[in-house]
Amino acid sequence: MAGIRVSTVVEAPAERVWELVGDYHALGDWHPHLPPSRLGNGLTGNAIGSVRVFELPDGVVLHETLLAYDEEARSYTYSFPDGTFHFDDYRATLRVTPVTELGASFVEWSVTFDIEPEHRKESSDRVHGVFTSGLAALRKHFAG
């Protein structure tokens, strides 16, 4: 099992950051490199089992399924089908935690997965880039 963990501090209270990132289906609304998603099944909102579908610019259609959602802990976990970008058992979590002394937020995006060694670098770099650019967009959004 391998993993990637990317984190940042956002200069806004956790409640405000979660208002933006806590809607599972709104990732494409704030992430600069993802288009808005469409519903992939009849489940809407943050219902466990809800599927969001991204049609990526390179022609890839990505289906992500919500596995866990915790409003109080400000986190959600999702997966996508085995084989997507060569990953198996892909489980990603986005979490927002208050940094109370600063009135800021610690935002962490992490994932665990299995992958064949020959695909590890390319696929891991792709995910790392998505996570890093998304967190940079959050910092920028709340900076001004």
pLDDT tens-digit readout, 14-36: 999 999 999 999 999 999 999 99
For the chain, the average pLDDT equals: 95
Q: DSSP secondary-structure letter at 35?
A: P
Helical pair 14-21 and 117-143, crossing angle rounded to 10 deg: 120
Q: Which of 142, 130, 144, 100 is nearest to 31 (CA)?
A: 130
**H or E segment and range at residue 89:** strand 87-99
The stretch 134-138 carries a mean pLDDT of: 97
Q: Whole-prediction pTM value?
A: 0.94
Return the SS3 of 16. helix
Other C-beta atoms lying within 10 Å of the C-beta of residue 15: 12
Cα–Cα distance measured from residue 137 to residue 43, given in angstroms and rounded to the nearest whole number: 28
pLDDT at 88: 95
What domains can be seen in the chain, in order of their start residue? 2-143 (3.30.530.20)
